[in-house]
Amino acid sequence: MIEKGITVVSPMWGDREKTDRMVFSVIHQFISPNNPFNIHLVLVDDYIEKRGENNESYYDYYISEEFKKFYNTDYIKITLIKNKEHRYQGESREIGWKAGDYNFFLLIDCDDMLAPNACDRFLNIINEEAKKRDRQPIACIHGLVYSFDTNGYEHNIPRTFYLGTE
């Protein structure tokens, strides 16, 4: 069993057409055979849409046996949590990361998509930072970061920020 991995958390409130794209972008992440890792996708149904009499959700399909044919269940696990009332994005994200299997996590909205190698790159950045500092980072933000002032954005900082240690 592979112990390293990443938890991907998404509060769900959109229609299935949009959420399908997000879910497929996560379950089709590049996982190198030389450096394998697991992904735990935690979907948190935020109870915005009406549910059926049996607490059915638009998103039950993602945890069905039928849906498992679309991804490698050796590396990917999907969990669906159904809020009993509308909890909004922030609390739904917190519910999701608490249910995750791994120390590192990515947050994604249900109408967004991950690049095909996003999880692999994220874990590689974490590992590089750990080697440089001889300790494990607790968070990394990678990508374009902007600082804002009254005239719009001023700085474009394409780099990785290292945010402390365990």
pLDDT tens string 12-63: 987 888 899 999 999 999 988 888 999 999 999 988 666 667 778 889 999 9
64 falls within a domain: yes
The rounded distance, in Å, linking the Cα atoms of 160 and 66 is: 39
Domain that holds residue 68: 5-135
The helix (run of H) or strand (run of E) holding residue 99 is helix 88-99
Does pTM top 0.85 for this prediction?
no
Mean pLDDT of the 84-90 span: 85
111 falls within a domain: yes
Cα dist. 88→4, 15, 78, 83 in Å?
30, 16, 21, 10
146 falls within a domain: no
91 falls within a domain: yes
Strand pairing partners for 8?
41, 106
The rounded distance, in Å, linking the Cα atoms of 59 and 44 is: 9
155 falls within a domain: no
Contacts of 94 (CB under 8 A, 6+ apart): none
CATH number for the domain including 110? Answer: 3.90.550.10
163 falls within a domain: no
21 falls within a domain: yes
153 falls within a domain: no
Portion of the chain with pLDDT greater than 90, in percent: 38
Q: In this predicted structure, what is the pLDDT of residue 50? A: 65
Q: Is the pLDDT of residue 155 over 50?
A: no
**Domain tally for the chain?**
1
71 CB neighbour count, 10 Å cutoff:
19
pLDDT tens string 124-138: 877 887 787 776 665
